[in-house]
Amino acid sequence: MTPSTIAAVDGVLYAIGVLSWLFANGVHFSSQDPTKLVFGAGYAAVGMVLVAAVAVSL
Number of separate domains in the chain:
1
Q: Are 15 and 55 in contact, with CB atoms under 8 Å apart?
A: no
N- to C-terminal Cα separation, the chain? 16
**Is pLDDT of 58 > 70?**
no
Write out pLDDT tens, residues 28-43.
Answer: 778 788 898 889 888 8
Average pLDDT of span 10-37 = 85
CB-count burial class (<10 Å; 0-12, 13-18, 19+) for 18:
middle
Burial 39-55 (b: 16+ CB within 10 A, else e): eeeeebbeebbeebbee
Query: What pLDDT, on the 0 to 100 scale, is given for residue 10?
Result: 82
Give the pLDDT band of residue 24 (cuts 50, 70, 90). Answer: very high
**Is pLDDT of 53 > 80?**
no
The residue segments making up the domain with residue 51 are: 3-57
Q: In the chain, what percentage of residues exceed pLDDT 70?
A: 93
